[in-house]
Amino acid sequence: MPGLDTLKEKVIAAVEAHRRELIDLSLKIHAHPETAFREIKAARWLTEYLEGKGFAVERGICLLETAFRASSGDRAPRVALLAEYDALPGIGHGCGHNLIAMASVGAGIAAKAVLAEAGGSVVIIGTPAEEAAGGKALMAARGAFDGLDAALLTHPGNRNASITHGLACIELTVEYHGKAAHAAARPEAGVNALDALVIAYNSISVLRQHIRDSARIHGIIIDGGQAVNVVPEHTAASFLIRAEDDEYLDHLKPRVLACFRAGAEATGARLEYCWGDDTRYRAMRSNHALAEAYARNMEALGRQVSDPEERHSMGSTDMGNVSALVPAIHPTVAVAPPDIPIHTPQFREVAASEEGLEGMLDAAKAMAMTVVDVLTDADLRKRMQEEFHGK
Ligand SMILES: [Zn+2]
Ligand SMILES: [Zn+2]
């Protein structure tokens, strides 16, 4: 077998050889933003491209029209590169998922070029609806990530990091059913569903004082009543509850629900609620052994990777659900200064800029180099597994 360095040089050259095609693909997705589960064009363009490169493509996997799997080889070890391609409503590719797709596709093509020498197989898994709808949560439950040795996805951002954190997250939707009445002539005949919701909202504000710093509870009122001169008979709200680990999230759930029950108790409105168990995001568990390999490769490309112990503010990602099943990493690449955070119109511009595209070509190279490490290094795979199983 050729040396490790030779294989890594080959994957770097393979990404370079596809640079123009990868950039064009990414810009095309950027110019046609599609939101959760409607990524019809993006999924078509990505699968057509991968088919053209000799991957065996399955479309509509896991009962999701815009999910796909593109595989090369079927031998162990098996490494997956995950692609996201959904946009944000109203803001387009303000999270840069067009770049994520490009990086994983580029890494997959590069890894495929050395499979005969490195052994094993590589699969690109297209995972729709990362933004709020939890595509990977559904796919994890439907077996999309079974039988893998590692899973990687690199997100564009404000720093080069190999280890990132993501909070466990669950949605709670609530409705109150009260009784309508004339708000001035017969208020005593009404049951006020908005009062119930306001009491719940305030109770949650009180609860926040007494939970861990890292936990988050935030929500919006979807329906606050129908007419100003009618006692509101129906209200609805949606809340997200987030915590650093799944256990603490489970601890918070009944405490948050108690706040909503308090609103019902105080007003007499009837509470209906629903936990979003299907799309619950698990906390991200970065595999340190895999992250170290990735960081070494990224540094070899000339990007200084930040200290793994550094903690930054965090949201949630459905990659957490993958990391609960497979040794996984969700690194970030610095493509924008810290004052341009993701989910902004400014970051949308970055996602089509030279800096964004070049950064994610580096991500493609670093991921492909890491695939080479995983496929060729049995000791690394053992350390990843031991860490994953907590040995
Ligand atoms: Zn996002
Ligand atoms: Zn994102």
pLDDT digits (tens, 9 = 90+) for 335-347: 999 999 999 999 9
Write out pLDDT tens, residues 249-304.
Answer: 999 999 999 999 999 999 999 999 999 998 899 999 999 999 999 999 999 999 99
Ligand nearest to the Cα of 96, by number: 2
Residue pair 155/100 in contact by the 8 Å Cβ criterion:
yes
Question: C-alpha 336: how far from its chain's center?
Answer: 19
What pLDDT is recorded for position 212? 96
| 101 alpha carbon, closest ligand | 2
Q: What's the gap in Å between 5 CA and the centre of ligand 1? A: 35
Spacing, Cα 198 to ligand 2 middle (Å): 32
Pick from 260, 257, 279: which is nearest to 269 by CA? 260
pLDDT at 376 over 90: yes
| pLDDT higher than 90, residue 186 | yes
| d(C-alpha 295, C-alpha 157), whole Å | 16
Whether pLDDT at 200 is above 70: yes
Residue 315: predicted pLDDT: 87
pLDDT digits (tens, 9 = 90+) for 45-94: 999 999 999 999 999 999 999 999 999 999 999 999 999 999 999 999 99
Please give the distance, rounded to the nearest whole angstrom, from the Cα atom of residue 386 to the centre of ligand 2.
Answer: 29
For the whole model, what pTM was predicted?
Answer: 0.92
Q: How far is the CA of 317 from the centre of ligand 1 (A)?
A: 8
Residue 131 C-alpha to ligand 1 middle, in angstroms?
5
Instruction: Judge contact between 325 and 145, C-beta under 8 A.
Output: yes
73 C-alpha vs ligand 2 centroid, how far in Å?
Answer: 29
Task: Tell me what pLDDT residue 1 has.
Answer: 64
Which residues sit with Cβ closer than 5 angstroms to ligand 2, an ion?
95
**pLDDT tens-digit series, residues 114-142:** 999 999 999 999 999 998 778 999 999 99
Distance CA(379)–CA(352), nearest Å, equals 39
- Which pLDDT band, with edges at 50, 70 and 90, does 193 fall under? very high
**Ligand 1 mean position, distance from CA 386 (Å):** 31
CB neighbourhood size of 256 (10 A): 22
CA of 131 to the centre of ligand 2 (A): 7
Distance from the CA of 135 to the center of ligand 2, in angstroms? Answer: 12
Mean pLDDT over residues 346-371, rounded?
A: 98
- Interval between CA 302 and ligand 2 midpoint (Å): 24
Do 151 and 287 form a contact (C-beta atoms < 8 A)? no
- CB under 8 Å to 91, separation ≥6 — which residues? 343, 344, 345, 348
Alpha carbons 30 and 327: distance in angstroms, whole number: 30
What one-character-per-residue DSSP string does 287-307 give? -HHHHHHHHHHHHHTT-PPPP
The C-alpha atoms of residue 209 and residue 217 are separated, in whole angstroms, by: 11
Check residue 177 and give its pLDDT.
Answer: 98
Average pLDDT of span 141-153? 97
